[in-house]
Amino acid sequence: MAQRYYQPEIETMPIEDLKKLQSEKLVKQVKHVYENVEYYRNLMDEKGVSPEDIHGIEDLRKLPFLSKADLRDAYPYGLLAKPLKECVRIHSTSGTTGRRVVAFYTQHDVDLWEDCCARAIVAAGGTDEDVCQVAYGYGLFTGGAGLHGGSHKVGCLTLPMSSGFTDRQIQFMDDLSATILCCTPSYAAYIGESLKEQGYKPEDIPLKAGIFGAEPWTEEMRRGIETTLGIKAYDIYGLTETSGPGVAFECCEQSGMHINEDHFLAEIIDPDTGEVLPEGSKGELVFTALDKEAFPLLRYRTRDICVLSRKPCSCGRTHIKMTKPMGRSDDMMIIRGVNVFPSQIETVLLKEGYQPNYQIILDRVGNNDTFDVNVEMNPEQFTDTVSGITAQEKALGEAMKTMLGINPKVHLVAPKSITRSEGKAVRIIDKRKLHD
């Protein structure tokens, strides 16, 4: 099948032209941010750099970094670069209390974001003849809204399913002959298993492609999903801070994701020193949003570790490719698509009267994450009856669910039974084989 593009001139733009475009946009964007965001202006002043020092992308490294800690400091309005009356939407990360990031969008921002998602859908073979089932969560999470907007732009018949209610997903998929499925890879795998259980064979459903992201997944998982659903499965990457999904997406090569470089300027840095690393090095991905108006982060440290490559791609797109994220440089875990920090668990434990002696155990059964938390009892609890302990485990699990949005299995263990560490505490045991 001939390769199609959503915005061919941009997606296949010669690299020199692309760099020129990025330079022009960067100069304008730095001025916009400096004039409108006091928080970042202060960071630039501290570094002794002003908009006049930025003539093009070669000057990017003169700018200060922004991190998640800055976003927390400036919460909620401190990084807003447009008057609120020009903003039409917010989205937010799945992290809770204190960790939440709220991103703002003007209509222009929504429009460009949806273009990015439309590029991903077209790269996966989508056209206005497709029926696109969007089973990412709708609401504060960017997954549903982003792919929904992209699907509209392509002209697909859009099924705004949101996640969950798997029987209903299957019924709509079958009755309306969905051809493209958008959801997290773990949910895609689950839908696949459920279809099989209900007696469907891959050829019973006209699905042809899936656009899966928001969490790490392996090549092995891709092959499994492709076989069970009888589709081609494409990866898509993004984060709330940079709009949402669609910052990068896979093409027919299915090896690495093209970053939408006309909107997002990517760098790889050493996470410890902040030094910019040459192309091909493994390091932390940093993004500068070149067109975002309301929440235009400059040099934002994603904490995702990956490698960039400009090797020519057979699809004809010129935009640089990133590998799948190979891990994170902070302690954030992604469990069933939800961002979880150990500090959130600590907060619940302290609030509920426990000591922060705990261990998180992550594993995968089939394609589903399991999430167990071992917590040491206080000595006085140790004498409780089994039914008392079970009730406490349940209560603690509920409190964690309220904080995290997902339900861990809590196990109360004997006082002092969790190995103490002399260095950094080993809080997380991640047995999921995510990076093959």
Where along the sequence are the contacts to ligand DLL (CB under 6 A)?
A: 93-94, 136, 142-143, 213-216, 235-240, 244-245, 302, 304, 324-325, 328, 334, 339
Residue 355: name the closest of 401, 395, 421, 412 by CA. Answer: 412
**Of 273, 421, 286, 436, nearest in space to 357 by CA:** 421
For the CB of residue 334, give the shortest distance to ligand DLL in the complex, in Å: 6
- Residue placing its CB nearer to ligand DLL in the complex, 63 or 335: 335
- C-alpha 150, offset from chain centre: 17
Please identify, using beta-carbon distances, which residue of 239 and 313 lies nearer to ligand DLL: 239
Contact between 105 and 90 under an 8 Å Cβ cutoff? The reply is yes
Query: Phi and psi of 18, rounded to 5°?
Result: -60, -45
CA–CA separation, 108 vs 113, rounded Å?
Answer: 9
Element (H, E) at 335: strand 333-335
209 CB-near residues (< 8 Å, 6+ apart): 124, 125, 126, 179, 180, 181, 231, 232, 233, 234
Owner of token pair 């000591």 = 355
Judged on CB neighbours under 10 Å (0-12, 13-18, 19+), 314 is exposed
Question: Smallest distance from the beta carbon of 3 to ligand DLL, in angstroms?
Answer: 21
Least distance CB 256 / ligand DLL (angstroms): 11
Residues 6 or more apart whose CB falls under 8 angstroms from that of 431 comprise 361, 362, 363, 364
Nearer residue to ligand DLL within complex by CB, 238 or 408: 238
CA distance 229 to 235: 15
Distance CA 262, CA 12 (A): 11
To ligand DLL, the closest distance from the beta carbon of 91 in angstroms equals 8
Shortest CB 185 distance to ligand DLL, Å: 8
SS3 368: strand
Name the residue number minimizing CB distance to ligand DLL: 213
Question: How far apart are the C-alpha atoms of 64 and 47, rounded to whole Å?
Answer: 7
Report d(CA 331, CA 427) in Å as an integer. Answer: 10
The SS3 assignment for 113 reads helix
